[in-house]
Structure 1
Amino acid sequence: MKFVIAPDSFKGSLTAKQAADAIYAGLKRVFPDADYELVPMADGGEGTVQSLVDATHGTLKTASVLNPLEKSVDAQYGLLGDGRTAVIEMAAASGIQFVNERTKDPLVTTTYGTGELMLDAMHHGAREIIIGIGGSATTDGGQGMAEALGAKFLDKDGQPIKRGGGGLADLAKIDVSAVDPLVAETKVRIASDVTNPLVGPKGSAAVFGPQKGATAETIPVLDRNLAHYAAIIKRDLGKDLADYPGAGAAGGLGAGLLAFTQSVMEKGVEIVVKETHLKERAADADYVFTGEGAIDFQTQYGKTPMGTALAAKEASPHAKVIGLAGNVGEGIDQLYDLGIDAIFPILPGVVDLPTAIKTGEENLTRTAENIARVLK
């Protein structure tokens, strides 16, 4: 009998690897002689770096970069086992966690630190970068990221514009002559499921701006500035990105990456499936265990359990996919028609969130063991 164990992290409780180990411990008690493949997973969001580093026996790197408020912080990224692929979460440098209710302001926050992380990875040998672009504190269209790579953003007097979404209003010219040569040699894979354009009513400022501190007064300013930015990119770089699907992700960082790097957009979980060789490892599987902190109707939209189920069924159509979650929400019935065969909550009873987080490992192990006993 063959088990594939491929969960995402259980946020605040367990990394994907720790979750996989906990499930393995429970199954092993009942099926000690079975074959096991442990494949820590992610969907491009938080935990992707750790999952891919664990899955490929890579290493974590630390770089001193600027956070969204241009204060120096230490941020981590991963160098995968092949030594040539880096994985970065833009939130590590430019995430919403670096601001608070008083300091969040997309007119001034910048993605400069994300560009610094990318450049550091390139100078450590990476020629392919996987970048997850969720959780940003910025709406600068990736201008800061591109500036860190060497691009110059100049006003009508030839002076550098201010960083942040507000400074884009003064942009008159983009000069890419000083961009680091390694940028042209590096493939960038953008892990994002966001399809919003850069500008307009469904654009970056209108849809995502409020959570980053944009107000009813500043949203139109940001949208206008991003439209101006897109027009200058089209004129100076020949790339039309204003309405490009996904360009509005992470405050327009999607547009910035598409404009200034050799990049392609992909679904986050599909990138992780490929990098972990999940399909190959799931060949001839009898049971596939996946999961994350919560499984509900949103799981079908690119979340790890759904991506894992689809990949596993493709590799081994007869395999049964079992989902485990701390919280099982509304709308899970539709998941049964899409590839997940059964879903189980792991909590033993009514507990508060701190207790659920603290007992995640033992709850996963116990639930996996009990399921295994039914299977046996």
Structure 2
Amino acid sequence: MAEGARRAGASAGIEVQTETLPFADGGEGTLDAICSAWGVQPQQVSTTDALGREVQARYAVHSVEGAVTAVIEAAEANGLPTVSDVPLQPLRATTYGVGALVSAAVEAGCEEVLLCIGGSATTDGGAGLLQALGARLLDSSGEQIGPGGGALADLSRIDTEDLDPRVRGLRWRIACDVINPLLGPEGAAAVFGPQKGADPQDVEELDAALGDFADVLAAQTGQDVRETPGMGAAGGLPMALVSLFDAEIAPGGELVAEVLGVQQVVTEAEIVLTGEGRLDSQSLGGKVVDTVRRLTPDQTPVFVLAGAVQISAAELDAAGLTAALSIARGPETLEELSAEAEARISSAAEQLIRTYLSGRAAAG
């Protein structure tokens, strides 16, 4: 975008000053965006994917005035891309591998964990994460249950005696970009289960098993969080952390914006450009585009470049967006667009800024 804007300025004899800010909303890419802003390199940890296979995953550590924060992108361990080479197994996919990242953060002396949870392949309510940190999830016979959300149907009690005490002292902030409850037609299994390979019967089993997990947690902690907005995110991953550690859930875009200092950048800008793979109604509900618009002063134009634009001009106006342009030159596949994405984005930004500068010149 910045390259295209500068080319447009040069052709009009104007020096266009740009400030670029890689941004994400708590899903995939958030770790890289934050590392870029902090100027730190992510660290690698040996862990397991959602199916228990060994993988290398990354996390980052940053210290400000003695306070040490870890940024963990859960999808590095339990994400859909890590298990894309095999048939999805929605009933046994586990967040256990995310626990190794948390343990590494604890060993690094972190006092706060910023957990980004988008893109998961799991629907286990965070049960595997608890197991990785030392908790024992037991059935009625006192035996540990198996991995995955399906096994939660056998859960009777959670033994936290061997839980790492340092984990209890952590401040948890969970970047979440949805408000779905844990259960029901808008819950974790019903809404997000199918994209993780769940058929209708799997969805029914997972929903019931998550309900069982919620019952056990409520009985042991004295608080029932199943109706709390956001509990259905990432297969219910926040539930265990909120119940046991009083984790804070925050809109992913806003939390990342705070870390990156987005507010100051957009406040000082004459115009703002942002992007989206496919701009549709979901983009206006806490995603990057929505967050950028809300942080930008009302009088400042906000333009969106997207692979596809699937909302009307009226919807754009109602959302406070100035205009949206697609990088497509006609009917094209995702593969075709992806192959030339960088050049297409730069070209679209150049056209947009040419138009903007022309209008500004005409207005004097």
TM-score by length of structure 2 reads 0.88
What stretches of structure 1 of length at least 5 have no aligned partner? 1-19
Deviation at 1:230, TM superposition (A): 1.1
Amino acid at match of 1:223: D
Instruction: Give the conservation status (yes or no) of the 8 Å contact 1:297–1:331.
Output: no
> Identity of paired residues, percent?
37
- The answer for the alignment partner of 1:55 in structure 2 is 37
Deviation at 1:123, TM superposition (A): 2.0
Partner of 2:296: helix, strand, or coil? helix
Partner of 1:327: helix, strand, or coil? strand
**2:18 aligned to 9, 17, 36, which one?**
36
Cα distance per residue 1:169-202 (max 9 Å; x no partner)? 2222212222222222322221223222222333
User: Aligned in 2, Cα 1:261/1:331: closer, same or farther, shift over 3 Å?
Assistant: farther
Query: Take 2:229 and 2:59, find their aligned partners in 1: how far apart are those partners?
Result: 26
> Superposed, which structure 2 residues align to 1:99-178 within 5 Å?
99=83, 103-178=87-162
Asked if residue 45 in structure 1 is aligned to residue 27 in structure 2, the reply is yes
Amino acid at match of 1:46: E
Deviation at 1:21, TM superposition (A): 4.9
Partner of 2:277: helix, strand, or coil? strand
Query: Take 2:29 and 2:10, find their aligned partners in 1: how far apart are those partners?
Result: 28
174-183 or 41-50: bigger deviation? 174-183
Query: Take 1:272 and 1:72, find their aligned partners in 2: how far apart are those partners?
Result: 29
User: Aligned in 2, Cα 1:49/1:181: closer, same or farther, shift over 3 Å?
Assistant: same
Amino acid at match of 1:170: D
User: Aligned in 2, Cα 1:225/1:125: closer, same or farther, shift over 3 Å?
Assistant: same
Q: RMSD value over aligned CA atoms?
A: 2.4
> Superposed, which structure 2 residues align to 1:1-376 within 5 Å?
21-23=2-4, 25-26=6-7, 29=10, 33-80=15-62, 82=64, 84-99=68-83, 103-313=87-297, 317-376=298-357
Instruction: Give the conservation status (yes or no) of the 8 Å contact 1:192–1:246.
Output: yes
Partner of 1:140: helix, strand, or coil? coil
Query: Take 2:288 and 2:137, find their aligned partners in 1: how far apart are those partners?
Result: 38
User: Aligned in 2, Cα 1:60/1:23: closer, same or farther, shift over 3 Å?
Assistant: farther
Partner of 1:283: helix, strand, or coil? helix
TM-score by length of structure 1 reads 0.85
User: Aligned in 2, Cα 1:23/1:333: closer, same or farther, shift over 3 Å?
Assistant: farther
How many residues in Structure 1 have an aligned counterpart in Structure 2?
Answer: 354
Instruction: Give the conservation status (yes or no) of the 8 Å contact 2:9–2:354.
Output: no
Query: Take 1:327 and 1:81, find their aligned partners in 2: how far apart are those partners?
Result: 39
Query: Take 1:278 and 1:304, find their aligned partners in 2: how far apart are those partners?
Result: 11
Instruction: Give the conservation status (yes or no) of the 8 Å contact 1:297–1:332.
Output: no
What stretches of structure 2 of length at least 5 have no aligned partner? 358-364
Cα distance per residue 1:237-257 (max 9 Å; x no partner)? 222123222212211112122
208-217 or 261-270: bigger deviation? 208-217
Deviation at 1:146, TM superposition (A): 0.9
User: Aligned in 2, Cα 1:222/1:318: closer, same or farther, shift over 3 Å?
Assistant: closer
- The answer for the alignment partner of 1:6 in structure 2 is none
Query: Take 2:120 and 2:340, find their aligned partners in 1: how far apart are those partners?
Result: 30
Query: Take 2:333 and 2:210, find their aligned partners in 1: how far apart are those partners?
Result: 43
Higher relative contact order (CA 8 A, sep 6+): 1
Query: Take 1:287 and 1:343, find their aligned partners in 2: how far apart are those partners?
Result: 14
Query: Take 2:18 and 2:79, find their aligned partners in 1: how far apart are those partners?
Result: 36
- The answer for the alignment partner of 2:362 in structure 1 is none
